[in-house]
């Protein structure tokens, strides 16, 4: 199976998966502290991470020295931070408002700014803040979701090749709503030390089966382009999303 070299965690329900992912995240943080260096994380939006955010705050919040973590985003909708669509707002409500993290450690993508200018500015921030490896900013961990159509971050099927290889941040357009997004590119994501997908729900199982079981060159889904060049790839799935995977 293609994903023999990836690491797969399957839990019966979204809640149990979020428990698993929170514990795993805590372990990654502890490991980073052994080297006494900051832990640079990029998170995603959507509904899937909300349970994880809440459990991380409730169960591990008091055990983490949050001044050693820096949060970035894998993508953001081009809306103001108080807009209900904002990924920053979602993380603030479900995580940051519940933990003692310095404001300077939260590096939001300014959805209210001009998208092209903000993509460039965020890229500069990443180059200035993160360790550099292979001449690119290197996250310790990037947490991703996946849409029913196989998109990840805000890289959608059919995006032109530029979105994946030249820059580390790009402006994209949601294919259904036309909403402008700012996203990390596969170029940047694949340079991370660890990338973890958190995917739940039966609606994602058929695309997931194709990505995990088909020929690795199958490239029609952006999530299939996530192949860390030197880091590890982890799949945190609930039983719904993993439906059909183990019967092959
Ligand atoms: C976003 C996300 C996006 C998300 C998937 C899955 O800004 O919407 O970054 O890539 O992870 O669309 O969304 P759900 O978790 O809501 O299924």
164-208 pLDDT, tens digit per residue, is 567 999 999 999 999 999 999 999 999 999 999 999 999 999 999
What count of other Cβ atoms lies within 10 Å of the Cβ of residue 177?
A: 10
CB of 46 within 6 A of ligand 1: the answer is yes
> How far, in Å, is the centroid of ligand 1 from the Cα of 128?
27
Q: pTM of the prediction?
A: 0.95
> How far is 248 from 244, CA to CA, in rounded Å?
7
Q: What is the mean pLDDT of residues 120-146?
A: 98
User: Hey, whose CA ends up nearest to atom 10 of ligand 1?
Assistant: 153
Sign of CA dihedral 53, 56, 61, 63: negative
> How far, in Å, is the centroid of ligand 1 from the Cα of 219?
19
User: Which pair of structure tokens corresponds to residue 135?
Assistant: 């001449």
CB of 172 within 6 A of ligand 1: the answer is no
> How far, in Å, is the centroid of ligand 1 from the Cα of 34?
32
> How far is 234 from 240, CA to CA, in rounded Å?
17
CB of 200 within 6 A of ligand 1: the answer is no
CB of 48 within 6 A of ligand 1: the answer is yes
Strands 136-137 and 132-133: antiparallel
| Model pLDDT, residue 4 | 47
39-75 confidence digits (pLDDT tens): 999 999 999 999 999 999 999 999 999 999 999 999 9
Helices (H), the chain: 14-34, 49-55, 87-94, 115-129, 162-165, 186-189, 205-213
CB of 44 within 6 A of ligand 1: the answer is yes
Q: What is the mean pLDDT of residues 62-90?
A: 98
> How far, in Å, is the centroid of ligand 1 from the Cα of 146?
6
Nearest to 79 by CA among 108, 40, 57, 104: 108
CB of 182 within 6 A of ligand 1: the answer is no
CB of 238 within 6 A of ligand 1: the answer is no
According to DSSP, residue 152 is labeled: B
User: Hey, whose CA ends up nearest to atom 7 of ligand 1?
Assistant: 45
| Model pLDDT, residue 185 | 95
Decide if pLDDT at 221 tops 50: yes
* Integer CA distances (angstroms), 196 to 53, 144, 179, 223, in order: 15, 6, 25, 11
Paired residues of 41 in beta bridges:
71, 141
User: Hey, whose CA ends up nearest to atom 1 of ligand 1?
Assistant: 45
CB of 187 within 6 A of ligand 1: the answer is no
Give the atom of ligand 1 at the shortest distance from the alpha carbon of 48. 15
User: Hey, whose CA ends up nearest to atom 13 of ligand 1?
Assistant: 46
Paired residues of 180 in beta bridges:
173
User: Hey, whose CA ends up nearest to atom 12 of ligand 1?
Assistant: 147
What count of other Cβ atoms lies within 10 Å of the Cβ of residue 158?
A: 10
166 φ, ψ (degrees, to nearest 5): -85, -60
């Amino acid at each position: 199976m293609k994903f023999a070299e990836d690491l797969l965690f399957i839990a019966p329900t979204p809640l149990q998966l979020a428990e698993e992912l929170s514990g795993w995240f805590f372990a990654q943080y502890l490991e980073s502290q052994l080297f006494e260096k900051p832990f640079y994380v990029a998170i995603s939006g959507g509904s899937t991470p909300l349970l994880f955010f809440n459990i991380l705050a409730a169960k591990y919040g008091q055990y983490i020295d949050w001044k050693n973590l820096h949060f970035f985003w894998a993508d953001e909708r081009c809306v103001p931070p108080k807009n209900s669509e904002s990924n920053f707002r979602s993380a603030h409500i479900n995580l940051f408002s519940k933990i003692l993290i310095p404001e300077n450690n939260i590096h939001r993508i300014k959805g209210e700014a001009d998208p092209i200018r903000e993509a460039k500015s965020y890229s500069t921030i990443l180059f200035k803040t993160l360790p550099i490896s292979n001449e690119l900013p290197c996250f310790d961990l990037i947490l991703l979701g996946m849409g029913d159509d196989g998109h990840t971050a805000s890289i959608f099927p059919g995006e032109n090749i530029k979105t994946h290889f030249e820059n580390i941040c790009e402006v994209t357009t949601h294919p259904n709503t036309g909403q402008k997004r700012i996203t990390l590119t596969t170029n940047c994501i694949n340079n991370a030390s660890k990338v973890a997908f958190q995917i739940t729900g039966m609606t994602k199982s058929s695309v997931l089966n194709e990505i995990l079981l088909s020929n690795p060159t199958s490239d029609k889904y952006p999530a299939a382009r996530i192949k860390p060049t030197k880091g590890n790839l982890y799949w945190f799935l609930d039983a719904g999303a993993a439906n059909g995977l183990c019967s092959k």
